[in-house]
């Protein structure tokens, strides 16, 4: 059998994309007569909407409709959210605006150009209210309330206790605490949101094309908002998408908006988001303030850990928020063996755009706090930071390891991976560079970061935000379903469909590799179609591409379907070859006898039998026309009565170390050397894996040094263009030396763990630690811009 997995197979996606034949949402044909929409957005961070006067706009050439929050309130229901609170959100602002950029009015016209012209004729009167922008301020009783009915901005608070944290803290030699903020930013994909919606008035049904990434748990949220049953809301995903990184979950409110516009105008309506809107209002990662404290022994061993995580979700908690606070919950102790843990999770609302899914998804926030604390422990106890890390790592023999908060880490040898990474003189070289630089009076520092990277979420994790009694009443939520289907056509050609959405992660290629592996074909012979259509494809609420679910989820379902198909074809082939099924192998495009390879038939001929001559099938075998596999791993149980939850299926490991130098002339941080060790279990395509790691690394560098959403005191958004929001270019990304270790996951047949969010989690922490070491400071705020470095240097002087 030819080994397809583990090989750097070139991508099937590339020829079309390189030739300009990609089919992104804005490329696809639209019906003649499609109208175009433009969103008028709030200029205020917080204000009452007093009056909307659309008369002049409606009279403008080519304008078909001007839609307000009142129209939306009549035709749709507020969005369901994960937190039950008297907070209502529709797709347009109703009565009040709560962030700069919030959609207030929709203009629908014959072209986007005309819609923007007409938008300038709409007058909206606002009564400004005081905004609150800082999460800590927003918790105070005197803070302006975003949702008066809720009585507070601190919309969700939950406390967890595992083991005996009070006892651990009482026993400890030392207690070491820090407050660590994580900034607000977004991994703005180069393609923005696109929605094309049609409404069938006779059926009251909707047909929407949008570059939505999932999870499809949002499908019922949208259908309910539109007041139609699921089958009357058909959502189609285009064949290609220009990146997402979590951001294209948040197109869902616009799907509802444009669907309503189609209903109101009786015409198809298209909306393409532009960059200005995307920056101010599409989505962002949540910013967080973590108070973290460790109870430690004199040797640096952590006896207990306390975290107070205050996360800022902006103006609304959109489903499925506050997910980042809970996605990492089982792994809140990271790579460390800590038994006694106390966690307080607080979600607060402020007058900024709603935060939502983003690559890293709670990991960057957690690990910045945890890894900064590890360095702090070493400094306070006068120990080597790497020694402190290693003293606390989970030992290899403990896997599968159940964490204090309930995660079941599948596999790993953390100490060994670290040992390899620092070996071959790498750490010694970093230390030499630091010594030489410091001898010349230069600011050079070394940083470390250790991360456990979860992949494929347990859908029950979000229910941890409810108490056990509330969960009992609501019914258990758990698991994660992955689905894939193989079909064989009359000429014996194989097609795969699966429940992932395309965003650039090369799913088409890897799925082809997986199926080709089992069927003895080359990946080029396997067709993969990933244009998900809720009316025709198999999907569950877990469908989509997010949380690195592909490698431990959908890939496994494809493997299972391929194995089942293989076994059927073996039985069918055995009959035609006149041998026993055990003697049959699928290889090199043939189905043949293993003991006598000349006794062979072409794959297509045997595979086509089910179409042309079902009479030739063995009695025991159903026609091998299609094979569907559904993968639901048993490890993803609901939260236990004492709030333990295995939040993900697989857990990878990352160890980063780096050297940085602070330039005293320009105040820039120069990354001198960066090493990143990854254990993601079995690697299905090393070329693609490296691409994912480098992409995440670039985004980690961006978070560490360049990107931040900033607001002035009135809540005005200051990063309104790509000249002001600093996405790194090639000149800003340092080289990274990538190392691999392989601890296959015992929880999936393929042994592959999801990877690709890891460096979003590890790199900001590693860089922050290196800067702290370089400057001898304890507080390093990210992004460590020249402005912040300059202020740190001035404070030191």
Partner 1 sequence: MKPRPFDYVQPDTVEEAVAILAEYGDDARILAGGQSLVPMLNLRIVEARALVDISRISALDVMREVRGKIEIGAAVTQNKLLAWPQLAEKLPLVAAALPHVGHFQTRNKGTVCGSIAHADPSSELPLTLALLGGEVVLKSERGERVLAAEDFQKDMLTTARAPDELIAAVRFPLTKGGGVGRGVAFREVARRHGDFAIVAVAAVVEDKNTVRLGVGGMAGKPMVRRFAREEAAGAIAAWADALEGYEDLHASAAMRRDLFRNLGPLAVTEAIRCAA
Partner 2 sequence: MRRVNRDARARVSLTLNGRKLAAEAEPRTLLCDFLRHALGATGTHVGCEHGVCGACTVLIDGVATRSCLTLAVQAEGREVRTVESLAAPDGKLNPLQQAFRDHHALQCGFCTPGILMSFTDYLSRNPHASEAEIRDVLSGHLCRCTGYASIVAALKRAARRE
Binding positions for partner 2, rule: CB under 8 A:
10-11, 13-15, 17-22, 24, 26-27, 113, 187-192, 240-243, 245, 274-276, 503-506, 687-688, 690-691, 694-699, 721-723, 727, 729-731, 733, 735-736
Torsion angles phi and psi, residue 486, rounded to 5: -110, 140
Q: CB nearer to partner 1: give 55 or 718.
A: 718
- Among partner 2, partner 1, none, the one that 238 touches (CB under a kind-dependent 5 to 8 A) is none
The verdict on 116 binding partner 1 (CB under 8 A) reads yes
Min. distance of Cβ 791 from partner 1 in angstroms? 8
Q: CB nearer to partner 2: give 688 or 768.
A: 688
Helices 686-705, 758-775: axis angle to 10 degrees equals: 40
Q: In what order do the strands lie in the sheet with 340-348?
A: 154-162, 340-348, 302-312, 287-296, 174-182
The verdict on 43 binding partner 1 (CB under 8 A) reads no
Q: CB nearer to partner 1: give 126 or 667.
A: 667
36 SS3 class = strand
Residue carrying structure tokens 């002087």: 797
Given the DSSP bridges, would you call strands 205-210 and 233-236 parallel, antiparallel or unpaired? Answer: parallel
Of 145-153, 245-253, 641-649, 782-790: span binding partner 1 (CB under 8 A): 782-790
Please list, in sequence order, all residues whose beta carbon lies within 8 angstroms of the beta carbon of residue 274, skipping any fewer than 6 positions away: 192
Q: CB nearer to partner 1: give 422 or 669.
A: 669
Q: Determine contact, residues 132/153, Cβ cutoff 8 Å.
A: yes
Helices 603-612, 555-577: axis angle to 10 degrees equals: 90
The verdict on 397 binding partner 1 (CB under 8 A) reads no
Min. distance of Cβ 36 from partner 2 in angstroms? 11
CA dihedral over 269, 272, 276, 278, signed as positive or negative: positive
- Among partner 1, partner 2, none, the one that 790 touches (CB under a kind-dependent 5 to 8 A) is partner 1
Min. distance of Cβ 786 from partner 1 in angstroms? 7
- Among partner 1, partner 2, none, the one that 718 touches (CB under a kind-dependent 5 to 8 A) is partner 1
List the one residue from 48, 77, 130, 274 that touches partner 1 (CB under 8 A).
Answer: 274
Q: CB nearer to partner 2: give 209 or 780.
A: 209
Q: Determine contact, residues 198/206, Cβ cutoff 8 Å.
A: yes
Q: Spell out a b/e string for 55-78, using b for 16 or more CB atoms within 10 Å of the CB, else e.
A: eebeebeebbbbbbbebbbebbeb
Residue by residue, DSSP assigns 92-147 as S--SEE-STT-EEEEEEESSHHHHHHHHTT-EEEEEE------HHHHTSTTSPPSS
Helices 385-392, 414-422: axis angle to 10 degrees equals: 160
Q: How far is CA 790 from CA 669, 769, 770, in A?
A: 11, 17, 16
What does the block give as tokens for 693? 């790691």
Q: What does the per-residue mask of binding to partner 1 show for 605-644, with x meaning CB under 8 A?
A: ----------------------------------------
Q: Determine contact, residues 150/87, Cβ cutoff 8 Å.
A: yes
- Among partner 1, partner 2, none, the one that 241 touches (CB under a kind-dependent 5 to 8 A) is partner 2
Q: What does the per-residue mask of binding to partner 1 show for 651-680, with x meaning CB under 8 A?
A: -------------xxxxx------------
Min. distance of Cβ 726 from partner 1 in angstroms? 6
65 pairs with which residues across the strands?
108
First to last CA, the chain: 67
Q: Spell out a b/e string for 721-744, using b for 16 or more CB atoms within 10 Å of the CB, else e.
A: eeeebbeeeeeeebebebbbbbbb
CA dihedral over 420, 424, 428, 434, signed as positive or negative: negative
Taken as a whole, the chain contains a residue count of: 797
Measured distance CA(333)–CA(413) in Å, rounded: 16
The verdict on 419 binding partner 1 (CB under 8 A) reads no
- Among partner 2, partner 1, none, the one that 18 touches (CB under a kind-dependent 5 to 8 A) is partner 2
Measured distance CA(271)–CA(691) in Å, rounded: 31
Of 25-33, 370-378, 404-412, 780-788: span binding partner 1 (CB under 8 A): 780-788
Min. distance of Cβ 275 from partner 2 in angstroms? 4
- Among partner 1, partner 2, none, the one that 665 touches (CB under a kind-dependent 5 to 8 A) is partner 1
DSSP category for residue 711: B
Residue carrying structure tokens 């009279």: 59
- Among partner 1, partner 2, none, the one that 612 touches (CB under a kind-dependent 5 to 8 A) is none
Helices 555-577, 507-519: axis angle to 10 degrees equals: 30
Of 2-10, 115-123, 333-341, 399-407: span binding partner 1 (CB under 8 A): 115-123
List the one residue from 56, 73, 112, 433 that touches partner 1 (CB under 8 A).
Answer: 112
Min. distance of Cβ 22 from partner 2 in angstroms? 5
To which H or E segment does residue 689 belong?
helix 686-705
Min. distance of Cβ 267 from partner 1 in angstroms? 20
Q: CB nearer to partner 2: give 404 or 654.
A: 654
Measured distance CA(734)–CA(622) in Å, rounded: 56
- Among partner 2, partner 1, none, the one that 694 touches (CB under a kind-dependent 5 to 8 A) is partner 2
Q: CB nearer to partner 2: give 192 or 292.
A: 192
Min. distance of Cβ 704 from partner 1 in angstroms? 14
- Which residues ranging from 693 to 722 are in contact with partner 1 (CB under 8 A)? 706, 710, 718-719, 721
Query: Which of 199, 206, 207, 204 shows the shortest CA–CA distance to 28?
Result: 207
Q: CB nearer to partner 2: give 234 or 359.
A: 359
Torsion angles phi and psi, residue 187, rounded to 5: -95, 55
- Among partner 2, partner 1, none, the one that 791 touches (CB under a kind-dependent 5 to 8 A) is partner 1
Q: What does the per-residue mask of binding to partner 1 show for 717-746, with x meaning CB under 8 A?
A: -xx-x-xx-x-xxxxx--------------
- Among partner 1, partner 2, none, the one that 699 touches (CB under a kind-dependent 5 to 8 A) is partner 2
The verdict on 127 binding partner 1 (CB under 8 A) reads no
Q: CB nearer to partner 1: give 26 or 116.
A: 116
- Among partner 1, partner 2, none, the one that 191 touches (CB under a kind-dependent 5 to 8 A) is partner 2
Min. distance of Cβ 279 from partner 2 in angstroms? 9
Radius of gyration of the chain (CA): 27
Q: CB nearer to partner 1: give 120 or 125.
A: 120
88 pairs with which residues across the strands?
none
Cα-to-chain-centroid distance, residue 613: 47
Q: CB nearer to partner 2: give 547 or 610.
A: 547
Q: Determine contact, residues 250/318, Cβ cutoff 8 Å.
A: yes
Q: Spell out a b/e string for 276-306, using b for 16 or more CB atoms within 10 Å of the CB, else e.
A: ebbbbbbbbbbbbbbebbbbbeeebbbbbbb
How big is the CA angle at 241 (ends 235 and 247), to the nearest 5 degrees?
A: 80
- Among partner 1, partner 2, none, the one that 17 touches (CB under a kind-dependent 5 to 8 A) is partner 2
The verdict on 470 binding partner 1 (CB under 8 A) reads no
Min. distance of Cβ 405 from partner 1 in angstroms? 40
Q: CB nearer to partner 2: give 317 or 511.
A: 511
Residues that bind partner 1 (CB under 8 A): 112-113, 116-117, 120, 274, 276, 664-668, 706, 710, 718-719, 721, 723-724, 726, 728-732, 785-787, 790-791, 794
């Amino acid at each position: 059998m030819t080994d397809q997995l583990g090989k750097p197979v070139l991508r099937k996606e590339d020829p079309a994309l390189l030739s300009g034949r990609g089919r992104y949402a804005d490329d696809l044909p639209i019906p003649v007569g499609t109208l175009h929409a433009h969103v008028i957005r709030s200029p205020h961070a917080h204000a009452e909407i007093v009056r909307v006067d659309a008369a002049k706009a409606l009279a403008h050439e080519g304008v078909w409709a001007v839609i307000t929050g009142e129209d939306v309130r009549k035709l749709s229901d507020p969005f369901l959210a994960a937190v039950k609170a008297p907070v209502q959100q529709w797709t347009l602002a109703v009565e009040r605006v709560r962030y700069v950029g919030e959609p207030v009015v929709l203009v629908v016209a014959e072209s986007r150009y005309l819609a923007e012209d007409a938008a300038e004729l709409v007058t909206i009167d606002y009564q400004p209210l005081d905004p609150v922008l800082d999460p800590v301020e927003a918790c105070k009783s005197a803070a302006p309330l975003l949702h008066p009915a809720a009585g507070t901005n601190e919309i969700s608070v939950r406390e967890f206790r595992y083991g005996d944290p009070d006892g651990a803290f009482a026993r400890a030699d030392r207690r070491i605490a820090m407050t660590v903020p994580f900034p607000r930013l977004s991994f703005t994909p180069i393609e923005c949101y696109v929605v094309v919606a049609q409404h069938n008035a006779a059926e009251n049904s909707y047909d929407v094309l949008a570059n939505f990434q999932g999870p499809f748990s949002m499908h019922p949220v949208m259908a309910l908002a539109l007041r139609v049953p699921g089958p009357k809301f058909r959502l189609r995903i285009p064949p290609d998408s220009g990146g997402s990184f979590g951001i294209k979950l948040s197109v869902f409110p616009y799907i509802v908006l444009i669907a309503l516009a189609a209903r109101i105008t009786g015409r198809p309506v298209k909306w393409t988001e532009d960059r200005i809107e995307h920056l101010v209002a599409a989505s962002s990662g949540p910013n967080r303030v973590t108070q973290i404290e460790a109870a430690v022994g004199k040797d640096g061993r952590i006896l207990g850990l306390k975290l107070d995580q205050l996360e800022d979700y902006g103006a609304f908690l959109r489903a499925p928020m506050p997910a980042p606070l809970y996605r990492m919950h089982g792994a809140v102790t990271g790579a460390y063996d800590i038994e006694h843990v106390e966690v307080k999770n607080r979600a607060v609302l402020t007058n900024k755009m709603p935060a939502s899914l983003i690559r890293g998804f709670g990991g960057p926030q957690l690990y910045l706090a945890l890894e900064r604390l590890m360095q702090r422990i070493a400094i306070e106890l006068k120990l080597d930071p790497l020694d402190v890390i290693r003293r606390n790592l989970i030992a290899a023999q403990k896997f599968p390891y159940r964490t204090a908060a309930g995660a079941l880490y599948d596999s790993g040898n953390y100490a060994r991976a670290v040992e390899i990474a620092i070996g071959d003189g790498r750490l010694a070289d970093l230390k030499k560079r630091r010594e030489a630089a410091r001898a010349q009076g230069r600011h050079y520092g070394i940083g470390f970061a250790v991360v456990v990277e979860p992949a494929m979420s347990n859908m029950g994790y979000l229910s941890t935000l409810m108490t056990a009694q509330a969960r009992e009443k609501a019914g258990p939520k758990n698991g994660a379903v992955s689905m894939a289907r193989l079909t064989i056509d009359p000429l014996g050609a194989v097609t795969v469909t699966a429940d992932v959405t395309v965003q650039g992660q090369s799913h088409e290629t890897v799925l082809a590799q997986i199926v080709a592996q089992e069927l003895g074909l080359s990946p080029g012979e396997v067709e993969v179609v990933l244009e998900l259509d809720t009316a025709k494809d198999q999907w569950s609420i877990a469908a989509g591409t997010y949380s690195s679910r592909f490698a431990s989820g959908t890939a496994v379902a494809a493997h299972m379907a391929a194995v089942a198909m293989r076994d059927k074809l073996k039985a069918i082939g055995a009959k035609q070859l006149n041998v026993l099924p055990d003697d049959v192998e699928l290889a090199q495009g043939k189905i043949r006898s293993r003991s006598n390879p000349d006794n062979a038939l072409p794959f297509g001929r045997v595979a086509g039998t089910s179409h042309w001559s079902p009479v030739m099938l063995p009695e025991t075998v159903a026609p091998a026309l299609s094979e569907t596999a559904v993968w639901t791993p048993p490890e993803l149980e609901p939260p236990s009565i004492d709030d333990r939850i295995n939040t993900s299926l697989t857990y990878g490991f990352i160890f980063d170390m780096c050297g940085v130098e602070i330039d005293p002339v320009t105040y820039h941080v120069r990354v001198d050397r960066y090493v990143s060790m990854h254990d993601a279990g079995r690697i299905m395509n090393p070329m693609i894996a490296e691409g994912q790691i480098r992409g995440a690394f670039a985004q980690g560098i961006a978070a560490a040094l360049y990107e931040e959403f900033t607001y002035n005191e009135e809540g005005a958004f200051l990063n309104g263009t790509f000249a002001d929001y600093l996405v790194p270019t090639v000149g800003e990304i340092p080289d990274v030396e990538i190392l691999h270790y392989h601890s296959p996951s015992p929880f999936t047949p393929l042994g592959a763990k999801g990877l690709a969010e890891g460096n979003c989690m590890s790199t900001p922490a590693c860089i922050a630690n290196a800067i702290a070491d370089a400057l001898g400071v304890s507080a390093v705020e990210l992004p460590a811009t020249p402005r912040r470095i300059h202020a740190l240097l001035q404070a030191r002087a």
